[in-house]
A and B are shown apart, each in its own frame.
Chain A
Amino acid sequence: MSAVLSVSNLTKTFPSGDKFITVLSNISFELMAGDTCAIVGPSGSGKTTLLGLSAGLDDPSAGTIVLCGHHLGDLSEDDRASVRNQHVGFVFQTFRLIPTLTALENVMVPGELRGKKNVRQIALDLLDRVGLADRSHHYPAQLSGGEQQRVGLARAFVNRPSILFADEPTGNLDAETGDAVIELLFDLNRTAGTTLVLVTHDMELAPRAGRLLRLKGGQIVSDSALEDPVRSLQPLSTEVD
């Protein structure tokens, strides 16, 4: 079976004044279909940057990324967009629902971008799955944070993506609501067989992922696939709040 996401020797630097700061250095890992992977690490360690690069939202300074068989380095920005539309779903920390669209329309957006047929029905089904069938015509401003993120989940799955990127999906929710959202996320993920990349601060949540990458200072300091998962978690729990 081939890798859904394959990252090798990834380095990202940003210009800062007349110098460059290295945000990610020499990152390599590979995820297979259906894998779930949590990325943890202190603030500023480069988690979001890694996520963005993996999804082809930005260009790496060095290294290669192969996403669903596409060498992202060879593609233009627009071609990467097409790859995302075909294969990628997103869940954002700040929900990022489009304020001018209803819940249903928000869920439909990725499908409409693709020009998919009966996207409306799929979207309605997904809204039903996340328990918001009766709220489909409400605007984001009329929904609570948790409800908004559930709409966000439905949107992420509407194109049946091969891989889903979620950057702290519960970061803006209280613990209880967050838990519910996470349950849904794993549930949807399991049924759809999607590969999941999850950035989180939540140390109870992290172990639920099949794999755990620990970032620090732009480097992978531990990868559960290469170590004993239990030991590797010990020092981490004291480090993260």
Chain B
Amino acid sequence: MAPWYLKFAWRDSRGSRRRMLLYLSSMILGVAALVSINSFGNNLRNAIDREAETLLGADLSFESSRPFPEEIEFVIDSLGGLQSRRISFSSMAYFERTDDVRLSTVRAQEPGFPYYGAIETDPPSAASTFLTGNNALVDATLMSQFAAEVGDSIRIGTLTYQIAGKLIQTPRETAAIMLFSPRIYIPLEHLDRTLLEAGSRADYEVYFRFPEGRDADAIVENLRPRLREAQVRTDTVEEEKEGWDRSLTNLYRFLSLVGFMSLLLGSLGVASSVHVYVRQRIGTVAVLRCFGSRTWPTFSVYLIQAVGMGVIGAVLGSLLGFAIQASLPLVLGDFLPVSVDFALSWSAVWLGSGIGLGVTVLFALLPLLVVKDVSPLVALRADLEADVRGQKSPLWWLVVVTIGLSVTLFAIMQSPSPKIGIGYSMSLVIVFGALVLVAKTLIRILKNHPPTKLSYVSRQGIANLHRPHNQTLIMTLALGVGTFLIATMLLSQHSLLQQMSLVAEGDRPNLVFFDIQSGQVDGVEEELRKRQLPVLDRVPIVSMRISSINGTTISAMRADTTRNLTWAHRREYRSSYREGLTDSEVLISGVMDPRVDPDTLEFIPVSIENDIAEMLDVSIGDRISFDVQGFEMDTRITSIRTVDWQRMQTNFYFVFPLGVLEDAPQFNVVLSRTDTALESAAAQTAIVRRFPNVSAIDISLVMNVFDEIFSRIAFIVRFMALFTIITGLIVLSGAVLISRFQRIEESVLLKTIGASKSQVLRIMLVEYIALGILAATSGIILALGGGWALSRFVFEIDFVIPTLQLIGLVFFEVFMTLTIGLLNSRGVYAKKPLEVLRAEV
């Protein structure tokens, strides 16, 4: 025979089952988030595995920032297979019909590539036909920006191309990348080679396709030393896949952590519902104890109910998760390199529902443990509550510690590194803790300093927030977390944009011309002057790499495993030369020589930026040899500067004195300022028409792009924040429903003593408005702290408060709270005094 508590658990849940489902819905949402995100993540990985080759479009690629040297050309030859070359560089594209210019990434390629997958274009045939003549494929977004049409002409360098089609999807690129810099594909055969002259940047690529059975990774392994020597980067399908895997895994793990947060919120909601539920069951428990039920079986009654709830939540959550999963590609599509099919992932279901069940039961245990300590004596006493103050027994603490450990463990599992996982759970504790603190403080202020000047109705409504068994704290927490997320996002976006527009304010430069060859500088300045535009600065730039430090070559350092070779050692430096400091620099040690005569010196004095000096582990007196495009140049550090990188200026890690680099291959940057977009476009067009190799960037355009990117990220964050807010609102519904009986009693009491129906209604209005304000303010107060810290310490910019948006957010939340609150109280205020005496709890 089944033990009595099984049967009893089922019977006892009568009348609460539907309500339990409501309490559960917050947790269901959390499970759904976890299931959908993880399932999607698994599908994504499968898609990447399946379409791995299309990620690269070939079996192997070589890449170099200068034309391949002869010995590498020899290697390329010897590798055989199918080969296709491509050169990528930044250049201005000039739209002839509309007279517009835009800095773009131009990819000049040979037929063949991509060997796997395809360049997706509209019309589809354009992907292959564009290679047959002076044709181009242009990024669809760019085309719509300039209202360009297939068949229009664009000029790149000195050559004109006919637009053969719109680029929709290309190998190795996501839609989000296109935002940074629009793509234009042209045939390599028809490339204006003058654009590649010394000084300007270009990527030289060759793509291979090998017959079945040749292992690209093994080939790379063999060639690695030679390729590295020649500074040729390689990419294989395997490497590309790993790269995507890593970054996408991080992406979906991040989402998963956000989903987990909404599960935690949901569980808090469940815990608070169970808390009230258990209070209502104390009489039952006491009677059972009187009639001789033992401690653990009695406790089991409620544990079984909690587990049952958890199981139902896990099942429904998984189902909902699938529905949400179907919508994820719409949200994330722009950031993905492959299209992801919809498929059920059982491992995600087990993970999501397992964690959902575990977390629900653990959180439910906290209030449930009270059951264990209910004294049978309670049945003899009229006041049930008196004896059951939630003592924090050792068992209670054990549950708390278990919850803490499992949350941390899960976070570690989902994070790229344990450190981040621990950081995540720490920040959860901090955010939750801070919210509780803020909310408690606000509630205490309301309680201790009641607004005596308000009407009776308002005072009563506000007093409802801190009456016994209120759910104010839990609701503030649930709604506050969502508000916090949204508000923090708003604040950082606003501060960053504000910073960027500040940068371009006053007489600071907002139009930058670069890739100007030395002989063209005067011409560019002349064009600017012709249009009454100022030349704010002209800066020469010379590309170089470090070849050795204090006599040890970079390759020797690389061979020495004890040395920490950083990106700072390997990167290409763009350096300049001038007499002294600019106003964005501060000299912190040594002296800067204004001009030297290299023939009389053994070492050329050079000034280094402080951070990079630390990364390279060098200081004054150390020797650095540079490879300046083939020429070896020995320098000695004679000064260290700090640079304010926030300033919209040309800033450099290395600055040389005059007299050294004047004859090195170089290009120049000219800074100007225009006050209108029209002026800016006209100047760009004129200069690009005259000097096709010159590129221009308008800061406002950068800001637009930045804004766009930020909006898309913000969209994802909002999508997740919405989850937590919905969770909060569900918790709210649960809380309102659970206290329904108490409310009906009160409202009847109020009416019995002469309150009108409208007064009772208004008391409730005030209560929900106050609750909404409380939750929103708590979240925003916390976000102000977080946003301030972010802008101060992470972005290092001024903190700006978008007051209007924040007020809007408060209004939204108050509105939602009010709606949900009133919806769930339907009928409460309309009850007639007599009905309550027979009302079911």
Chain B contacts for A123, CB-based, 8 A:
none
Chain A contacts for B840, CB-based, 8 A:
141
Q: Find out whether the CB atom of A113 lies under 8 angstroms from the CB atom of B288.
A: yes
A28 to B197, CA, bound (A): 112
Annotate A17-59 by CB proximity to B: 1 below 8 A, 0 otherwise. Answer: 0000000000000000000000000000000100110010110
Chain B contacts for A100, CB-based, 8 A:
11-16, 284
Count of A residues near B, CB < 8 Å? 35
List B residues 367-402 near A (Cβ within 8 Å): 375-377, 379-382
Q: Find out whether the CB atom of A78 lies under 8 angstroms from the CB atom of B295.
A: yes
27 A-B pairs within 8 Å (CB atoms) are namely A48-B380, A48-B381, A51-B380, A57-B289, A57-B376, A57-B380, A58-B377, A78-B294, A81-B293, A81-B295, A84-B292, A86-B292, A88-B291, A88-B292, A90-B290, A90-B379, A92-B379, A101-B11, A105-B11, A109-B8, A109-B288, A110-B291, A112-B8, A113-B288, A113-B291, A141-B841, A167-B380
A90-B377 contact in complex given A100-B284, A113-B4, C-beta closer than 8 Å: no
A90 to B289, CA, bound (A): 11
CB proximity of A123 to chain B, nearest CB, Å: 13
| A192 at the binding interface (Cβ < 8 Å) | no
Chain A contacts for B13, CB-based, 8 A:
100
CB proximity of A84 to chain B, nearest CB, Å: 4
| B7 at the binding interface (Cβ < 8 Å) | yes
Chain B contact residues (Cβ within 8 angstroms of A): what range?
20 to 34
| B287 at the binding interface (Cβ < 8 Å) | yes
| B1 at the binding interface (Cβ < 8 Å) | yes
Q: Find out whether the CB atom of B7 lies under 8 angstroms from the CB atom of A58.
A: no
| B838 at the binding interface (Cβ < 8 Å) | yes
| A138 at the binding interface (Cβ < 8 Å) | no
| B283 at the binding interface (Cβ < 8 Å) | yes
Chain B contacts for A208, CB-based, 8 A:
none
The chain B residue with its CB closest to the CB of A58 is B377
- Which of B12, B292, B295, B375 is the one whose CB lies under 8 Å from A98? B12
List B residues 811-841 near A (Cβ within 8 Å): 838, 840-841
The chain A residue with its CB closest to the CB of B15 is A100
Interface residues of B (CB under 8 A from A): 1, 4, 7-8, 11-16, 283-284, 286-295, 375-377, 379-382, 838, 840-841
CB proximity of B841 to chain A, nearest CB, Å: 6
The chain A residue with its CB closest to the CB of B841 is A99
| A121 at the binding interface (Cβ < 8 Å) | no
The chain B residue with its CB closest to the CB of A53 is B377
Q: Find out whether the CB atom of B380 lies under 8 angstroms from the CB atom of A113.
A: no
The chain B residue with its CB closest to the CB of A51 is B380
Instruction: A84-B376, A85-B292, A98-B284 given; name 12 further pairs at CB < 8 Å.
Output: A57-B289, A81-B294, A85-B293, A88-B291, A98-B287, A99-B15, A101-B11, A105-B11, A109-B288, A112-B7, A113-B292, A155-B291
Chain B contacts for A51, CB-based, 8 A:
380
List A residues 58-72 near B (Cβ within 8 Å): 58
- Which of A48, A81, A141 is the one whose CB lies under 8 Å from B292? A81
Q: Find out whether the CB atom of A115 lies under 8 angstroms from the CB atom of B1.
A: yes
Annotate A92-130 by CB proximity to B: 1 below 8 A, 0 otherwise. Answer: 111010111100010001101111000000000000000
CB proximity of B239 to chain A, nearest CB, Å: 63
- Which of B4, B288, B382 is the one whose CB lies under 8 Å from A94? B382
Chain A contacts for B283, CB-based, 8 A:
96, 98
A48 to B290, CA, bound (A): 14
CB proximity of A116 to chain B, nearest CB, Å: 10
Chain B contacts for A159, CB-based, 8 A:
291
A85 to B376, CA, bound (A): 13
- Report which residue of A78, A114, A141, A155 has the largest number of chain B beta carbons within 10 angstroms of its beta carbon: A78
Q: Find out whether the CB atom of B291 lies under 8 angstroms from the CB atom of A90.
A: yes
A113-B293 contact in complex given A57-B376, A98-B287, C-beta closer than 8 Å: yes
A112 to B7, CA, bound (A): 10
A94 to B840, CA, bound (A): 17
CB proximity of A102 to chain B, nearest CB, Å: 9
CB proximity of A61 to chain B, nearest CB, Å: 14
| A83 at the binding interface (Cβ < 8 Å) | yes
A167 to B11, CA, bound (A): 27
CB proximity of B375 to chain A, nearest CB, Å: 7
A167 to B8, CA, bound (A): 26
- Report which residue of A100, A155, A159 has the largest number of chain B beta carbons within 10 angstroms of its beta carbon: A100
A188 to B412, CA, bound (A): 65
Q: Find out whether the CB atom of A109 lies under 8 angstroms from the CB atom of B291.
A: yes
Interface of A is mostly: helix
Chain A contacts for B1, CB-based, 8 A:
115
- Report which residue of A58, A105, A113 has the largest number of chain B beta carbons within 10 angstroms of its beta carbon: A113
| A77 at the binding interface (Cβ < 8 Å) | yes
A75 to B16, CA, bound (A): 36
The chain A residue with its CB closest to the CB of B1 is A115
A55-B290 contact in complex given A105-B11, A112-B7, C-beta closer than 8 Å: yes
CB proximity of A75 to chain B, nearest CB, Å: 12
CB proximity of B386 to chain A, nearest CB, Å: 12
The chain B residue with its CB closest to the CB of A141 is B840
| A9 at the binding interface (Cβ < 8 Å) | no
The chain B residue with its CB closest to the CB of A171 is B382
The chain B residue with its CB closest to the CB of A101 is B11
CB proximity of A178 to chain B, nearest CB, Å: 18
Chain A contacts for B286, CB-based, 8 A:
96
Q: Find out whether the CB atom of B291 lies under 8 angstroms from the CB atom of A85.
A: yes
A113 to B379, CA, bound (A): 17
Q: Find out whether the CB atom of A77 lies under 8 angstroms from the CB atom of B292.
A: no
CB proximity of B485 to chain A, nearest CB, Å: 40
Chain A contacts for B375, CB-based, 8 A:
57-58
Q: Find out whether the CB atom of B11 lies under 8 angstroms from the CB atom of A83.
A: no
The chain B residue with its CB closest to the CB of A112 is B4
- Which of A78, A92, A109, A114 is the one whose CB lies under 8 Å from B380? A92
Chain A contacts for B381, CB-based, 8 A:
48
| A82 at the binding interface (Cβ < 8 Å) | yes
CB proximity of B786 to chain A, nearest CB, Å: 45
Chain B contacts for A88, CB-based, 8 A:
291-292
Chain B contacts for A110, CB-based, 8 A:
291-292
A55 to B379, CA, bound (A): 12
A94 to B290, CA, bound (A): 14
CB proximity of A190 to chain B, nearest CB, Å: 22
A99 to B291, CA, bound (A): 16
The chain B residue with its CB closest to the CB of A142 is B838
CB proximity of A146 to chain B, nearest CB, Å: 16
The chain B residue with its CB closest to the CB of A84 is B292
The chain A residue with its CB closest to the CB of B280 is A99
A98 to B13, CA, bound (A): 12
A159 to B292, CA, bound (A): 11
A98 to B9, CA, bound (A): 12
A114 to B289, CA, bound (A): 12
A96-B379 contact in complex given A109-B288, A112-B4, C-beta closer than 8 Å: yes
Chain B contacts for A101, CB-based, 8 A:
11-12, 14
Chain A contacts for B376, CB-based, 8 A:
57, 81, 84
CB proximity of B374 to chain A, nearest CB, Å: 11
Chain B contacts for A81, CB-based, 8 A:
289, 292-295, 376
A99 to B840, CA, bound (A): 9
Chain B contacts for A78, CB-based, 8 A:
294-295
The chain A residue with its CB closest to the CB of B285 is A98
The chain A residue with its CB closest to the CB of B286 is A96
A154 to B60, CA, bound (A): 86
- Report which residue of A58, A99, A141 has the largest number of chain B beta carbons within 10 angstroms of its beta carbon: A99
CB proximity of A144 to chain B, nearest CB, Å: 11
Chain B contacts for A93, CB-based, 8 A:
380, 382
A84 to B291, CA, bound (A): 6
CB proximity of B278 to chain A, nearest CB, Å: 14
Q: Find out whether the CB atom of A96 lies under 8 angstroms from the CB atom of B377.
A: no
Chain B contacts for A84, CB-based, 8 A:
290-292, 376
CB proximity of B318 to chain A, nearest CB, Å: 29
The chain A residue with its CB closest to the CB of B12 is A100
CB proximity of B387 to chain A, nearest CB, Å: 10
A115 to B297, CA, bound (A): 13
CB proximity of B389 to chain A, nearest CB, Å: 14
A85 to B4, CA, bound (A): 13
